[in-house]
Amino acid sequence: MTDQAVPATSVEPYRAQVEVRWGDSDQLGHVNNAKVVEYMQEGRIKFLQSDEMRHLAIVVRKMDVEFLLPIKYESGPVTVEITAMHVGNTSYTLRHTVRDRDGAVCAHGDAVLVGFDMQTERPRRITDGERDVLGRYRVAATT
């Protein structure tokens, strides 16, 4: 994880519900860690479907995940909460918090996303529309 603590703020996160699929579990009956990252990705894709961001390319540069509680089939559906932790010139950091059906935090992870120019295959500047969307879910860093 980054060195930023989970903030206590009045900003409401974006929330996306993701189904726990029967085949996501391992021999222990726990959802496999790679599937939890997929749940985060599903939540992030739903978040990025806003009109201001729908047609803009991004790539994941880095992702750190902390697994806190096992997720089981009966834990679902899970809720993926998304908040913006940092917005830079060409990149931004989204925090993903995965909660089970009872609201317990099972995992959280930070993804650094980079605006991507498909023609040049190089980073691009974050647009004003992206900044507007991210600003709605931006939390102040706590120290």
Average pLDDT in the chain:
91
> How many structural domains does the chain have?
1
| CATH at residue 110 | 3.10.129.10
Contacts with 108 (C-beta within 8 Å, 6 or more apart), sequence order: 1, 6, 65, 66, 68, 95, 96, 97, 98
Cα–Cα–Cα angle for 50, 142, 123, rounded to 5 degrees:
45
In a domain, residue 113? The reply is yes
In a domain, residue 24? The reply is yes
Q: Where are the beta strands (DSSP E) in the chain?
A: 14-18, 58-67, 78-87, 91-99, 105-117, 122-123
Model's pTM, two decimal places? 0.88
Contact by Cβ (8 Å): 56, 47: no
Domain that holds residue 91: 14-136
**pLDDT at position 2 over 50:** no
Q: CA 110, CA 7: separation in Å to the nearest integer? A: 13
In a domain, residue 37? The reply is yes
In a domain, residue 143? The reply is no
In a domain, residue 8? The reply is no
Q: What percent of the chain has pLDDT over 90?
A: 85
**pLDDT at position 56 over 50:** yes
Contact by Cβ (8 Å): 70, 106: yes
